[in-house]
A and B are shown apart, each in its own frame.
Chain A
């Protein structure tokens, strides 16, 4: 499987950005250590040499300035790709994102077509400040789109869509997936995009559905495999890909198909995106449900560091399989 023609998820993002920068002079990169160093995870490696310091801009440690500058440039018709070194630091840009970027179009001050991307996610022993999943901080802010791919194909297609989207897009990249060999795949030679706002059926099934995204998609697929083999239970896995605006149609379609649903995500359970998805299902597909909608997520603590603690914090495969078995039998 691994050969020169395959791409990791990280390489797919880089190639997506590179293609858009080559095609369109208005696309540029701004962030900390994105130029000479190539980014903390090397997503932007090599782009400084190719495009120069005007279009790959290293900044001081100033997330508010990074977001603000991206907004200003976007107002001028540029297409900024701003990087957070870790998505945890998005908190320093929170004000600029929620008050400036998100509201500018609505206020008649001009749309902000900018991408704000960075590594998110737990499970890599990063501790409380390098493990965040930030989507629920922004879910209640009108005006921000949110995307999180779980395949290399989607990563490239979605970053290209995000760059050309007329509105602000938060692009979450699960750091555990960046170089995961399992996700290496050969990408099409021809230009392609993946639309924002559309979920994908990661695995077809008929007995129950797991609605998830990001790294948990892999957990869901593993659980589905195990249940198929050991129990003969057929699990459908929905990879949301876009977290805002949610693909309500895809969510309702799978509910109506399997009538049993688990919503799985990696951030803490309370106030998480799973609550919103469950509420949509409860309101709009109540008659189709044969069992309560179950949420599986992380516990309500900061993300702890030590493996024993972090593994307890996170949803795990056994938990998911167990929940599926009980839900199938409900």
Chain B
């Protein structure tokens, strides 16, 4: 692939104020640096379990989530940690999850950002791709019954469009004219499977036509474009016009998780995206062009985030380990299950 004629920046026109653009940059940078931090912690042997990053596709989650209101709901996937930050989830909570600490939001029963904070509109994802779409339709049915006027966003990769729950969920929301926005992050790969092995259609956005809903396609590495597209989608959905499907074009520069060496990726592809189409570099170029932030101001923001993340990570690491007996709790409301080996029967 050739280099772009002119280095890529972001969409010039935006309804965002200067302060909002700076805030958006902070979220984008936080997302990038959070991932870098977890990768470092993993290499230091401090984390149990897999580490998943969104390197190279952070703009989609951050830009789209920024167009939501506080009352709106998101169901992110593993590459959408940036959307969680925008919705108010704190890095420390996710560090606690990664460290498997007893004070983690899931009580250390589940991994990474598999937890929920419904007060902040964050619905906890599960690993079964596509399943969050039907769940979000339920959130919206409840909102409709209670006249709460919420919009809900389900994020998924292009691979998840091959699941049955994707179809059932998008179709049901469409039939019910629910304000569901499904964001398909087309990042080129589902684990090792390239997009062409996932779907024969030319573009995922074309699926919208089949469901009778609005379809939009956006440059997922242009954070301003992502914000503006989502803003339009939210207006469409909130004003009673039904669901929207957005295809965001992006690229996954890391493997499925840290253990994946990406041997299946054609030579030079990752490097091309890193050099020519990195969402953070593009936004930084935009900020400089627009004279919103200077190089040294951006460096200062990065230093501030680095210090913050180190502090939050240390605080999480020093948290208490879970009590083993807590494994037996909360299968049902306030329940404790008995031990599986019932020794007492041998002691009569």
Contact = CB atoms under 8 A, between A and B. Distances in A.
Contacts of A76: 118, 138-139, 142-143, 146
A71 B135 contact: yes
A22 to B, nearest CB: 15
A77 B144 CA distance: 13
A111 B333 contact: yes
A71 B342 contact: no
Contacts of A145: 332
A71 B144 contact: no
Nearest to B139: A72
A63 B164 CA distance: 10
Given A54-B144, A68-B138, A284-B342, A107 B114 contact: yes
Interface stretch (B103-111, B185-193, B222-230, B292-300): B103-111
Interface in A78-103: 78, 80, 95-96, 99-100, 103
Interface magnitude class on chain A: 35 or more
A100 B106 contact: no
Contact of A108 (B116, B136, B139, B169): B116
Nearest to B176: A57
Interface in A35-72: 54-55, 57, 59-60, 62-72
A30 B337 CA distance: 31
Contact of B345 (A57, A245, A284): A284
Interface stretch (B3-11, B26-34, B121-129, B256-264): B121-129
Nearest to A167: B332
A78 B131 contact: no
B168 A78 contact: no
Interface in B190-226: none
Contacts of B98: none
Contacts of A30: 141
Contacts of A74: 138
A132 B107 CA distance: 37
B333 A99 contact: no
B331 interface: yes
Given A105-B332, A145-B332, A75 B145 contact: no
Interface in B17-51: none
Contacts of A109: 106, 114-116, 123-124
B134 interface: yes
A73 B73 CA distance: 12
Contacts of A103: 126
A166 interface: yes
A64 B342 contact: no
A143 interface: yes
Interface residues of B, number: 45
Given A54-B144, A99-B131, A62 B348 contact: no
Contacts of B250: none
Contacts of B331: 105-106, 142-143
A153 to B, nearest CB: 25
Interface in B131-160: 131, 133-146
A244 to B, nearest CB: 10
Contact of B145 (A65, A78, A95, A287): A78
B118 A110 contact: yes
A33 to B, nearest CB: 14
Contact of B124 (A26, A63, A107, A111): A107
Contacts of B164: 64
A60 B131 contact: no
B342 A73 contact: no
Contact of B139 (A60, A75, A96, A104): A75
A71 B165 CA distance: 14
B172 interface: yes
Contacts of A287: 348
Contact of A60 (B118, B140, B143, B175): B175
Contacts of B169: 64-65, 68
A192 interface: no
A191 to B, nearest CB: 22
Nearest to A69: B138
A67 B114 CA distance: 20
Interface in B75-116: 105-107, 109-110, 114-116
A95 B134 contact: no
A110 B333 contact: no
A57 B141 contact: yes
A318 interface: no
Contact of A69 (B106, B118, B135): B135
Contacts of A57: 141, 176
B57 interface: no
B182 interface: no
A172 interface: no
Interface in B322-339: 330-333, 337
A286 B135 contact: no
B336 to A, nearest CB: 12
Contact of A59 (B124, B144, B172): B172
Interface in B45-76: none
A116 interface: no
Given A68-B134, A108-B109, A142-B337, 10 more contacts: A54-B145, A69-B172, A73-B141, A75-B139, A76-B142, A76-B143, A76-B146, A108-B110, A109-B106, A109-B115
15 contacts: A28-B141, A59-B172, A63-B168, A64-B164, A65-B172, A68-B134, A72-B135, A75-B123, A78-B142, A96-B134, A105-B331, A107-B124, A166-B333, A283-B345, A284-B342
